[in-house]
Structure 1
Amino acid sequence: MPVPVVVAIGDSITLGVGDGVQDARGDVGWAAHTARALGAATYLNLAANGTRVRDLHGAQLDAAIAARPDVVLVTAGGNDVLRGDFDPIAVELTLRAAWERLSGPGCVVVTVTIDRIGLFDLLPAAVGAVMARRVHALNGAIRGAAEATGTLVIDGATVFRQAGRSAWHIDRIHPSPLGHRAIAAAALERVAPWWAAVAPIDSPPVPPRTTERAWWLMRKGAPWAARRSRDLIPQVAQAVAHEMLEERRSRLRGAARA
């Protein structure tokens, strides 16, 4: 029975962040679980933390094409919605160009739309509303690019809703071990017409104890927040202010026309 060459590209979700409290090196996460279940002849994870959609057109995409994959697994776009220069039209065009390069004969490309980022539900309602709109726009861009290139799409919101609150990692940004496995199961369903699973997805580990969670937050979560607060928080604040200003202008234009 033939077995596929599986390549994963994208961001920290593809890399496997959130699949436990260990460091992700590409050997954990939804893409790794999918590859193992497919009995991949070769599995190459090229993802990197912080990757934006425009970053795919470089080392990741070139190496992916060189590997001559049968299956390509992608998550990208989450880092774009966290930036002040987020542009869903540019994201769609860039994704479309990337997937057109990958979508050769015999290559199946699978991507994932993202769910509402749980972290922002802990912040003021105005921030959460802006980020929810951005996620909606991103998912529209992902679906538009996918439709144009024949890329298979997993609905991330549906996966998380079915898996429940336990699908979120401690940071409320990445999937938990359960969430990663739920995405992998959805990926296997999408590629089944071409490649059948030859092994089950392993069960998620026992959830980390309170002490392990505290260790992760102290050693990983807090330093990440400190590093990103220098650019992420100002940019989110800028995005909120920009969208609130645009809403006000829209209301004033509507009132003027009336």
Structure 2
Amino acid sequence: MTGPRIVALGDSITLGVGDGVQRAWGEVGWAAHTAAALGASSFLNLAANGVRAQEMLERQVPRALAARPDVVLLTVGGNDVLRGDFSPVEVERALRGAIDRLARPGRRIVTVSLDRIGLFDLAPRRVAEAMARRVGEANAAIARAVALTDVEVIDGATLLASLGRRAWHIDRIHPSPLGHRALAGEAAALLAGDWRPCGAVPAPPEPPSRAAVAAWLAVNGVPWAVKRSRDLIPQVTMVVARELRDERRAARRPADA
């Protein structure tokens, strides 16, 4: 049986960031491993770094439709969460628009709900809690977008949590090689009813050396932190400040009554 035509959409997780520190993005990652396990007759990865839900709908979906895929794999919402103007309504609307355009009889669509962003576990408690709420709001938006459709959702938080810290890449934002392979195994299992796997998802490579970790942080981690310090961090700080103000007001009301 000829393997499926597979198209991957979305952000850096589908692109494959985190699946090692040396391989070319787009050739690795959970979507690529899923395609290999299913013996895909073609695999087109349209995902890109930094893509938000609306950008996926506008830029990637038309190209995906032109490829006439049998299977669509996608992740979206993480970059929306990491921006100051995050809107769960926009995530829901854009994802539902993409699904409406992509859905057709016989075509399988698989997406992944977001795990917590481990990087913010290192932040002050209030910031970590604010980001966790954003992830929850994004996941609720994803759930609403796929409701009453045939889209299948992999529970990324539960799956990656079962692996512990080994599930995280160096940046604590993307899945590690082990995390990517866990997602691929789950996706391949979901699709096995229509497309029989022709091989196992490969074992992950050895964890990167300390030198590789240091090099990655210098080349990628520091520039990312600097960029986000101008956008996300001030916005999250404002969110936390508003919450603290509202809590103080609520605490004063009984005394003032």
The alpha-carbon distance between structure 1 residues 129 and 105, as it changes in their structure 2 partners (threshold 3 A), is same
The residue correspondences of 1:2-151 to structure 2 (distance < 5 A) are 2-22=2-22, 24-151=24-151
Q: Partner letter of residue 201 of structure 2?
A: I
Deviation at 1:153, TM superposition (A): 0.2
CA contact (8 A) 1:81 1:134 kept: yes
CA distance in 1, matches of 2:135, 2:242: 16
CA contact (8 A) 1:15 1:24 kept: no
CA distance in 2, matches of 1:254, 1:83: 33
CA contact (8 A) 2:15 2:47 kept: yes
The alpha-carbon distance between structure 1 residues 55 and 253, as it changes in their structure 2 partners (threshold 3 A), is farther
Give the stretch that moved more between structures: 217-226 or 171-180: 217-226
CA distance in 2, matches of 1:94, 1:177: 29
CA contact (8 A) 1:130 1:243 kept: no
Aligned to 2:191: 191
CA distance in 2, matches of 1:129, 1:212: 31
CA distance in 2, matches of 1:127, 1:153: 28
| Deviation readout 1:219-240 (Å, 9 max, x if unpaired) | 2211222233222222222333
CA distance in 2, matches of 1:170, 1:12: 14
| Deviation readout 1:80-112 (Å, 9 max, x if unpaired) | 112222221221122111111111121111000
CA contact (8 A) 1:4 1:70 kept: yes
Task: Give the SS at the match of 1:74.
Answer: strand
The alpha-carbon distance between structure 1 residues 228 and 168, as it changes in their structure 2 partners (threshold 3 A), is same
Q: Partner letter of residue 57 of structure 1?
A: L
CA distance in 2, matches of 1:146, 1:247: 34
CA distance in 1, matches of 2:138, 2:248: 23
CA distance in 2, matches of 1:232, 1:23: 29
Q: Partner letter of residue 36 of structure 2?
A: R
Deviation at 1:59, TM superposition (A): 2.2
Aligned to 2:233: 233
Aligned to 1:216: 216
TM-score when scaled to structure 1?
A: 0.93
Q: Partner letter of residue 44 of structure 1?
A: L
| Percent of residue pairs identical | 59
TM-score when scaled to structure 2?
A: 0.93
CA contact (8 A) 1:82 1:236 kept: no
Q: Structure 1 unaligned segments of length 5 or more: list them.
A: none
| Deviation readout 1:126-160 (Å, 9 max, x if unpaired) | 00111111111111111111123221000001111
Task: Give the SS at the match of 2:81.
Answer: coil
CA contact (8 A) 1:84 1:238 kept: no
| Deviation readout 1:19-66 (Å, 9 max, x if unpaired) | 011264210100000011111111000001101111112221100011
The alpha-carbon distance between structure 1 residues 107 and 127, as it changes in their structure 2 partners (threshold 3 A), is same
CA contact (8 A) 1:14 1:74 kept: yes
CA distance in 1, matches of 2:248, 2:17: 38
Q: Structure 2 unaligned segments of length 5 or more: list them.
A: none
